[in-house]
Amino acid sequence: MDDLNDDTLSEDGFSDIQALYDFLCAKRPKQDFALSLSHGDYCLPNVFVSGDKAVGFLDLGNAGVADIWQDIALCVRSFEHNLCLYGYNNNDFIKYKELLFNELGIKPDEEKIKYYILLDELF
């Protein structure tokens, strides 16, 4: 739990790990999705890019078969974290998030994004 986000267990978050776990059990997405190969920690520092193409991946320790939204959610979180880290603002984050979903050809599912970001708190 050393990597737990400060906001997860807070007055505006969950009272403790058990409350987070109970929430995740209650809100688990229905299995109406196609399983796919998942990186498991799909964030910007784990992707090698050359030009405009992803050419390699790092840290495949959590790779496996999962809902595609697991990687999508962690990518969205990574956009927000890394853009803020390097001085970009929320409008930039929104722009890149929109670009991601336009490229994927799907609409954001905010409930699944939240679910998989919170699930990642347990790893």
Q: Which residues are catalytic?
A: 41
**Contact at 8 Å (CB) between 9 and 20?**
yes
User: Cα(117)–Cα(21) distance, rounded to whole angstroms?
Assistant: 13
What residue spans of 17-57 are helical by DSSP H?
A: 17-27
Q: What is residue 30's DSSP assignment?
A: P
**Contact at 8 Å (CB) between 115 and 27?**
yes
Extract the tokens encoding 85. Answer: 């880290």
User: Cα(68)–Cα(84) distance, rounded to whole angstroms?
Assistant: 25
Residue bearing tokens 């409350």: 19
